[in-house]
Chains A and B, each alone.
Chain A
Amino acid sequence: MTQRVTRRQFLNYALMGTGSFMVAGITLPMARFAIDPLFAAGADGDFIQTSIRMDEITDEPVKVDFTFEQKDGWYESEVSDFAWVYRDGDNIIAFSPVCKHLGCTVTWGGDTSNPDMFFCPCHNGYYTKDGNNVPGTPPRGPLDQFEVADSDGYLALGALGANKLVG
Chain B
Amino acid sequence: MFNKIYDWIDDRIDINPIWRDIADHEVPEHVNPGYHFSAFVYCFGGLTFFLVVIQILSGMFLTMYYVPDIVNAWHSVYYLQNDVAAGMIVRGMHHWGASLTVVMMFLHTLRVFFTGAYKAPRELNWVVGVLLFAVILGLAFTGYLLPWDMKALFATRVGLDIAESVPFVGEWIKTLLAGDATIIGAQTLTRFFAIHVFFLPAALFILLALHFIMIRKQGISGPL
CB atoms of A75 and B181 under 8 A apart:
no
The smallest beta-carbon distance between B185 and chain A, in angstroms, is 4
A29 contacts B by Cβ under 8 Å: no
Return the chain A residue nearest B157 by Cβ: A103
Flag A93-137 by CB within 8 Å of B: 1 or 0 each: 000000000110000000000000000000000000000000000
- Interface residue A72 (Cβ < 8 Å from any Cβ of B): yes
In the complex, the answer to whether B154 meets A73 with C-beta atoms within 8 Å is no
Q: How far is the CB of B107 from chain A (nearest CB, A)?
A: 29
| Interface 9-residue window, one of A9-17, A34-42, A83-91 | A34-42
Interface of B, helix, strand, loop or mixed by DSSP: helix
B161–A103 CB distance below 8 A: yes
A72-B185, A72-B186, A74-B186 known; A37 vs B179 contact (CB < 8 Å): yes
Count residues on chain A whose CB falls below 8 Å from chain B CBs: 14
Contact residues, B171-219 vs A (CB, 8 A): 172, 175-176, 178-183, 185-187
Residues of B within 8 A of A (CB): 70, 154, 157-158, 161, 172, 175-176, 178-183, 185-187
Name 29 A/B residue pairs within 8 A (Cβ), A-sorted.
A35-B176, A37-B176, A37-B178, A37-B180, A37-B181, A37-B187, A40-B180, A40-B181, A42-B181, A43-B181, A72-B180, A72-B183, A72-B185, A72-B186, A72-B187, A73-B179, A73-B180, A73-B185, A73-B186, A74-B186, A75-B70, A75-B185, A75-B186, A102-B154, A102-B158, A102-B161, A103-B157, A103-B158, A103-B161
